[in-house]
Amino acid sequence: MEPLKTLVIDTGSSPDAAVIWLHGLGANGHDFEPVIPHLGLPESAAVRFIFPHAPEMPVTINGGMRMPAWYDIKAIAIDRTVDTEQLVASATAVGDIIQSLREEGITDDRIVIAGFSQGGAVAYQLGLSWPEKLAGIFGLSTYFATADTIEIADANKQTPILICHGTQDPIVPEVLGKRSVEVMRQAGFKPEYETYPIEHSVCLEEIQKIGVFLRSALQLT
């Protein structure tokens, strides 16, 4: 996969922390750009928000139409049938962004990996298999697509993980969010689980919770 194009927003000069936030199917990196002011981060915090743009590819469940996607979804049954090879390739491409942040002086333990829906599945693959400790991982309205194939690393067993899901989600049913929590706990992780009375989207209360999570994970004061 070619290097990912990204939208980069710094909340201050010389950022010493970063959040890599992956969008969902058919969207782009601008999707979550508007939430930054609503996270309630300290004015003194210098955080680099990186919103990668997924490449365009044919998506089977949408009649083979080309659209921004992190991987192909071949069937929309409760147990998603996805192109695992493409998902892992996307995770690897996002890993390259971590490498570039290292070169800029931002260490792994100052980086949060996040994603919504498809992007969350990639975030889980990357974050739970990453060999160095990260600052945090959060997944929104998503599922653990590679639970049966991932090679889990021990480095992030104690890393804060936040999982948020809408109780009325018709696209990614909440049962998949609960299942992700169960699988992670069985693997030794300690995810926090929050639900909201919404469909396949985010709400202000959820965004504020993410802000609390980021302030704690990145020790922002």
Q: What distances in angstroms separate CA 114 from CA 4, 44, 136, 187, one per listed residue?
A: 16, 22, 8, 19
Residue pair 147/53 in contact (Cβ under 8 Å)? The answer is: no
Q: Which of 31, 165, 169, 180 is catalytic?
A: 169
> In the block, which residue shows the tokens 């002011």?
37
User: For residue 87, what are the contacts with CB-CB under 8 A and spacing of at least 6?
Assistant: 70, 71, 121, 122, 125, 145, 146
Residue pair 48/77 in contact (Cβ under 8 Å)? The answer is: no
Residues 108 and 114: their CA atoms lie apart, in Å, by 14
Q: Which of 16, 109, 129, 200 is catalytic?
A: 200
Whether 200 is catalytic: yes
- Nearest by Cα to 118 from 190, 27, 57: 27
What type of residue sits at position 3?
P
H or E element: which one contains 179? helix 174-186
Q: Which of 90, 117, 141, 180 is catalytic?
A: 117
Indicate which residues carry an active-site annotation. Answer: 117, 169, 200
